[in-house]
Amino acid sequence: MKQAIPAYVRKGLFYKSVVEDGSDIIFLVDYEGTILYHNNSARNTLGYKSSALIGKSFFDFIPESLQLDFTKVFKISTRKAFNKGIEFQFKCADKSLKYLEFNSVNLLQKEGIKGLILDCRDITQRKQDAEELLRAQKAKEQFLANISHEIRTPINGIAGMAALLSKNPSREEQQTYLNAIKSAADNLKVIINDILDLASIESGKLKFEKIGFNVSDLLRSLVETYGVQAREKGIALTYHLDPATEKILIGDPVRLNQILINLIGNAIKFTHAGSIHVEVKPAKIKNTTYYLQFSISDTGIGIPKDKLKTIFESFSQADASVTRKYGGTGLGLTIVKQLVELQHGTIKVESKENQGSTFTIIMPYKVGQSTETKKTHIAEPINKEQFKHASILLVEDNDINRLYAGSILKMWGCYYEIAENGVVALEKIRNHHFDLILMDIQMPVMDGFETTKAIRLSESRYSQIPIVALTANATKKDFEKCISAGMNDCIAKPFAQEDLLKVITKYLGRKLKKKINESESVTPGGSKTDGIDLTYLKNVSNGDAEFIREITNTFLETTPLTLQDIKAQLSDRNWSQLAKVAHKIKPSITLLGIHSLKDKIIQLEQESKLGQNERRITELANEVQAHLAHALDSLRSQA
C-alpha cells in the first residue's frame, strides 16, 4: 500500500525547516557562478543579510590566490551529477575568511537547469583544530629532537671523560675530567628536573607550601649566585627592592625561587652586552595581601613579535635556532607560567628584537608574623666520630650508585653494609642490627617495595627500622607509593651529599652524639680569622679538621710564590699571564672564604684578558697583593 505524503511536507513546511532555516548554507548557482538563491544560514554563518548575495558572482567571494584552483573544481562539478567534500574559503561580510565545504547536486540531469545546488558546511573550527594539532605535533617532534640532543650531550661527555680517566692521566688532567663530569651531570639533572616538574604540574600533583619567608633574603641570594656568571660575561646584574616589601610573607619560597631562577637565568643566557635589572615592588596592597610585582629586564636578543604568544607553550622556544645555539629543553617558561598561575599570579612579557625583554610577574602573598618564618634546616657537617655510632644498610643493585653512596658513608666514618637486592638485605637484617636502611626501588630478585613490606610484616624488633627510598622515579605519585609501601622517606636520584646528610640526621639524630658546637673552631682563632671565613671549607669537608689544616698549610706555602708571580707579571706587563695567575688562585679564595677578594680577582682576570686599561690592571693587581698578604699574615698569626 502506498504511504501517504504528510500534510506538513505538502504545505512546504519541510522545505522551510530543512532548507530555509537549516544549519547548512544552501546556494543555488548557475554554471557561470552567478548566485541565484541562498538561504538564511548565509546570514548566521557569513554575516550577509537575506538575498544580499543574489545576482553576484560566487567567484568574487573566493580569495584571489585560490580562485584558479576553485574554478577548476567548480567546472568539474558542472559535469558531474554529484560532487562532494570540496573545501574552499569564502569572504564574510566582515572581510574575514571562513573555511567551507560543499556537496553539489547538478540540476541539469533531472531538472534541465544549468545550475548547481551547493550544500555548504562551516568547517573553520575543524581546520583550525587540525592546524593546531599539526603545530603541536611539530612542536613535540622538535622538543623530542631537542631533548634527545640535550640528554645525549652530557651523557656522551660523562662517558668520554670516564674513559679518559681510565687512561692513567696526570693529577691535573684527572681534576679537569672530574670537573667536566660534574658539570655534565649537573646539566643532565636540570633537564630531568624540568621534565619531572612539568609532569607534576600537568598531573595536578604539585603542592605548594604556605610558610613564612623574606623576599629580600631570597633575592639577595639569587643575585649573588648569578652575579659571578653575569660578571664573567661582562654584564651588569642589579636589583632594587622597594622598602615596602620588607615583610614576612606567607607562601612557597622554593617555587618563587624556581620562577626567578628561570627568568634571571634566561636573561643572562640571552644577554651578551649591557645589563639586567630585577625590581620588586608592591603592585597593590589589599588588606593583608601584598600583590608583589617582580620585573626582570634585560638588554638581550629580544623576542620576535610573532613569537610572543607561543613562548609560554610546552616544548616551545622562540625559534628552533635558539635551541641549537643556546640549548635547553624549551620547558622553562612553560613551568614558570604554570607555577605563577597555580599560585593565582599573572605573567606577561614585553620585548623588542635586539633591544631586550621585560618579564613581569605579579604574585599575591599574605603578610605574616616574624614568628611564622620557617627555620630552614641547613645540613651541617657531622664529625666522623659521631657517625661511627650509626649503622646503615645500603640496599642497591647498581655498582656506580653503590660506589657513590658507599664512598660518602665511608668519608663520614659510618659503619655500613651493602646488599645487592632485597633477599640479601633481609638476610643481613636478621644477622645485624641497623639504625637506618637506604633502599633502592628497582632491583632484581626482590625489589624495594617487596623488601620493605617483608620488613614491616615481620614480628622481629627490626620491623620499625627507618627505611629511606633511593628512587630515580621522582614524581609525587612515586613518592606517595613509597610511603604507602611502608617507607619513611624518599631521596630522588641523583642525590647530593646534603640530601643524604639531612635524612641521616633526621632519623638518627637522637642516636648519635650531639654535633660539634658551631662556635668550635678549626683553628685556634676560630672558624673566622681577620678577612678569612672558613665556613665554606668546613661545609665541603664535613668538618674534617685534618683536611682543613692541610688546605690552610698549602695556602701558606703557595701564596708567597703567587705574590711573587703577580709582581713579576706586573713588572713585565705580561697581562695574559697575569690573567692566568688570577684564574688559578680563584678556587683558593673561595675555599678560604676571603670574600673581600673575590670580586677583585674576577675583575683582575677580566681586565688582564682584555689588556687595554693598564692603569686599572695595576691598581687591581696591587689591591689583590695587599689582600693576599693580609690573609697570609692572619693565618700565620693563628698557626
User: For residue 550, is it within any domain?
Assistant: yes
Of 74, 89, 122, the one marking the end of a domain is 122
Question: Is the same domain home to 185 and 64?
Answer: no
Measure the CA–CA gap between 273 and 300, rounded to whole angstroms: 7
CATH number for the domain including 433? 3.40.50.2300
User: For residue 465, is it within any domain?
Assistant: yes
User: For residue 522, is it within any domain?
Assistant: no
Measure the CA–CA gap between 243 and 238, rounded to whole angstroms: 16
* Residues 6+ positions from 541 with CB-CB distance below 8 Å: 381, 547, 548, 551
Burial code (b: 16+ CB inside 10 Å, e: under 16) for 525-548 equals eebebebbebeebbeebbbbbeeb
Alpha helices by DSSP H, listed for 36-107, are 41-46, 67-78
Q: What is the pLDDT of residue 120?
A: 92
When mean pLDDT is compared across 95-109, 196-210, 299-313, the lowest value belongs to 196-210
Nearest-10 crossing angle of helices 171-202, 332-342: 50
* Residues 6+ positions from 361 with CB-CB distance below 8 Å: 259, 263, 293, 294, 336, 340, 345, 346, 347
Measure the CA–CA gap between 323 and 313, rounded to whole angstroms: 15
When mean pLDDT is compared across 161-175, 179-193, 580-594, the lowest value belongs to 179-193
pLDDT (average), residues 396-417: 80
Under DSSP, is residue 160 helix (H, G, I), strand (E, B) or coil?
Answer: helix
Full residue range of the structural domain in which residue 292 is found:
211-372
Question: Is the same domain home to 248 and 303?
Answer: yes
pLDDT (average), residues 139-153: 61
pLDDT (average), residues 497-525: 59
Query: Does the pLDDT at position 525 exceed 80?
Result: no
The answer to whether the beta carbons of residues 56 and 42 sit under 8 Å apart is no
pLDDT (average), residues 35-59: 88
Neighbours of 269 (CB within 10 A): 19
Measure the CA–CA gap between 554 and 295, rounded to whole angstroms: 45
pLDDT (average), residues 209-233: 82
Under DSSP, is residue 51 helix (H, G, I), strand (E, B) or coil?
Answer: coil
Measure the CA–CA gap between 50 and 40, rounded to whole angstroms: 6
Question: Is the same domain home to 196 and 300?
Answer: no
- Please report which confidence band the pLDDT of residue 477 belongs to, taking 50, 70 and 90 as the band edges: confident
Q: How many CA atoms lie within 13 A of 635 on its CB side?
A: 24
CATH number for the domain including 251? 3.30.565.10
Q: What is the pLDDT of residue 219?
A: 87
Closest residue by Cα to residue 264 from 311, 223, 293 = 223
Task: Calculate the alpha carbon distances from 317 to 192, 193, 310, 314 in Å.
Answer: 18, 18, 8, 9
Question: Is the same domain home to 399 and 473?
Answer: yes
Question: Is the same domain home to 341 and 395?
Answer: no
∠ CA 425-426-432, nearest 5°, is 85
Measure the CA–CA gap between 426 and 301, rounded to whole angstroms: 59
Query: Does the pLDDT at position 581 exceed 90?
Result: no
Question: Is the same domain home to 599 and 459?
Answer: no
The CA dihedral of 198, 353, 237, 328, to the nearest 10 degrees, is 30
- Please report which confidence band the pLDDT of residue 72 belongs to, taking 50, 70 and 90 as the band edges: very high
The answer to whether the beta carbons of residues 391 and 437 sit under 8 Å apart is no
Question: Is the same domain home to 277 and 350?
Answer: yes
The answer to whether the beta carbons of residues 329 and 196 sit under 8 Å apart is no
Contacts of the segment 98-101: beta carbons below 8 A, 24+ positions apart: 98/45, 98/46, 98/122, 98/124, 99/123, 99/124, 99/126, 99/127, 100/25
Work out the burial of residue 457: count CB atoms within 10 Å of its CB; fewer than 13 is exposed, 13-18 middle, 19 or more buried: exposed
Q: What is the pLDDT of residue 375?
A: 41
Q: Is the alpha carbon torsion for 34, 36, 41, 44 positive or negative?
A: positive
pLDDT higher at 298 or 171: 298
Measure the CA–CA gap between 618 and 81, rounded to whole angstroms: 94
Burial code (b: 16+ CB inside 10 Å, e: under 16) for 360-370 equals bbbbbbbebee
User: For residue 9, is it within any domain?
Assistant: no
The answer to whether the beta carbons of residues 119 and 107 sit under 8 Å apart is no
Residue 494: asked if its preceding bond is cis (omega within 30°), the reply is yes
pLDDT (average), residues 94-122: 89
Question: Is the same domain home to 629 and 537?
Answer: yes
User: For residue 3, is it within any domain?
Assistant: no
Question: Is the same domain home to 361 and 399?
Answer: no
Of 122, 155, 182, the one marking the end of a domain is 122
Measure the CA–CA gap between 430 and 418, rounded to whole angstroms: 14
User: For residue 573, is it within any domain?
Assistant: yes
Query: Does the pLDDT at position 373 exceed 70?
Result: no
pLDDT higher at 89 or 17: 89
CATH number for the domain including 198? 1.10.287.130
pLDDT (average), residues 370-385: 43
The C-alpha cell that represents 49 in the structure block: 543579510
Highest-confidence segment of 262-271, 465-474, 528-537? 262-271
Let me know how long the chain is: 639
Question: Is the same domain home to 112 and 161?
Answer: no
The answer to whether the beta carbons of residues 316 and 330 sit under 8 Å apart is yes
Highest-confidence segment of 25-29, 226-230, 395-399? 25-29
Q: What is the pLDDT of residue 517?
A: 37
Straight-line distance from the first to the last Cα atom of the chain, in angstroms, rounded to the nearest whole number: 121
The C-alpha cell that represents 238 in the structure block: 642589579
Query: Does the pLDDT at position 469 exceed 70?
Result: yes
The C-alpha cell that represents 556 in the structure block: 701558606
Neighbours of 30 (CB within 10 A): 15
Identity of the residue numbered 609: K
Q: How many CA atoms lie within 13 A of 384 on its CB side?
A: 14
| Per-residue pLDDT reduced to its tens digit, 417-467 | 999 999 999 988 887 888 899 999 888 888 999 999 999 888 676 788 999
- Please report which confidence band the pLDDT of residue 354 belongs to, taking 50, 70 and 90 as the band edges: confident
Measure the CA–CA gap between 192 and 264, rounded to whole angstroms: 20
Predicted TM-score of the model (pTM):
0.39
Q: What is the pLDDT of residue 466?
A: 93
Question: Is the same domain home to 262 and 349?
Answer: yes
Question: For the chain, what is the domain count?
Answer: 5
- Please report which confidence band the pLDDT of residue 167 belongs to, taking 50, 70 and 90 as the band edges: confident
Measure the CA–CA gap between 148 and 59, rounded to whole angstroms: 49
pLDDT (average), residues 180-203: 69
Q: Is the alpha carbon torsion for 127, 132, 133, 138 positive or negative?
A: positive
When mean pLDDT is compared across 70-74, 350-354, 362-366, 608-612, the lowest value belongs to 608-612
Query: Does the pLDDT at position 523 exceed 60?
Result: no
CATH number for the domain including 85? 3.30.450.20
User: For residue 378, is it within any domain?
Assistant: no
Measure the CA–CA gap between 439 and 377, rounded to whole angstroms: 24
User: For residue 182, is it within any domain?
Assistant: yes
Q: What is the pLDDT of residue 307?
A: 79
pLDDT higher at 109 or 59: 59
State which H helix or E strand residue 26 sits in: strand 25-30
Please provide the DSSP assignment of 510-555 as one string. Answer: TTSPPPPPTT--SSTT-SEETTEE-HHHHHHHTT-HHHHHHHHHHH
Beta strands in 270-345 (DSSP E): 275-286, 289-298
- Please report which confidence band the pLDDT of residue 104 belongs to, taking 50, 70 and 90 as the band edges: very high
Question: Is the same domain home to 179 and 319?
Answer: no
- Please report which confidence band the pLDDT of residue 514 belongs to, taking 50, 70 and 90 as the band edges: very low
Of 164, 183, 202, the one marking the end of a domain is 202
